[in-house]
Amino acid sequence: MSGENHKERLDRELIELLNELRVALPGVQVLFAFLLIVPFSQRFSSVTPLQRHIYFATLLCAAVSAALLIAPSSHHRLLWRQGAKEKTLRAANRLSVLGLTFLALAMIGAIFLITDVLFGGVVATVATVAIGAVFAWVWYG
């Protein structure tokens, strides 16, 4: 923005980043909660070895995503008033982008699992590649 000094710009950028994280965090939290209860359902014992591996990878991606997306808030609190706002902002940006990448991977994994259970491997593969392409295009393209 015109007319703002370096400190004002950093303050604005940090507020914008934290606001953006407030949008992403509920999604990863809901997905992670869903994934935590899946193994306790009656049908989980009938999953294939591939589905079991994809489930575990998806669960790990959701957990890593949550950790990465929450980290900027933690860093902000830990480094508060230490004059490291620019360094914190750069690290928070990297953590956020990486966290969103793991969130996309977790969502793609969830799409594969649900589609594979409902329709089988071919449809699951097509749906997974399609949704992966959508994430790549609209989030990173």
Q: What is the pLDDT of residue 85?
A: 77
| Domain chopping of the chain, boundaries | 6-140
Tell me, what DSSP letter sits at residue 41?
S
User: Side-chain half-sphere of 48: how many Cα atoms within 13 Å?
Assistant: 10
Rounded-to-integer distance, Cα 133 and Cα 141, Å:
10
CA distance 15 to 22: 11
18-30 b/e (C-beta count within 10 Å ≥ 16 → b) = eeebeebbebbee
Asked if the model's pLDDT at residue 2 lies above 90, the reply is: no
User: Percent of the chain having pLDDT more than 70?
Assistant: 97
Above 80 in pLDDT, residue 81?
Answer: no
Q: Please give the average per-residue pLDDT across 98-127, as a whole number.
A: 96
Contact 58, 110 (CB under 8 A): yes
Instruction: Quote the pLDDT of residue 34.
Output: 87
| pTM for this entry | 0.86
Mean pLDDT of the 108-127 span: 96
Q: Residue 2 — φ and ψ, nearest 5°?
A: -75, 145
> What would the two tokens of residue 24 be?
């992403």
d(CA 47, CA 19): 39
Say how many C-beta atoms besides its own lie within 10 A of residue 8's C-beta: 11
Q: What per-residue confidence (pLDDT) applies to 13?
A: 87
**DSSP character at residue 47:** -
- In this predicted model, what pLDDT tens digit does every residue of 13-59 receive, in sequence order? 888 888 888 888 888 989 999 898 888 888 888 899 999 999 999 99
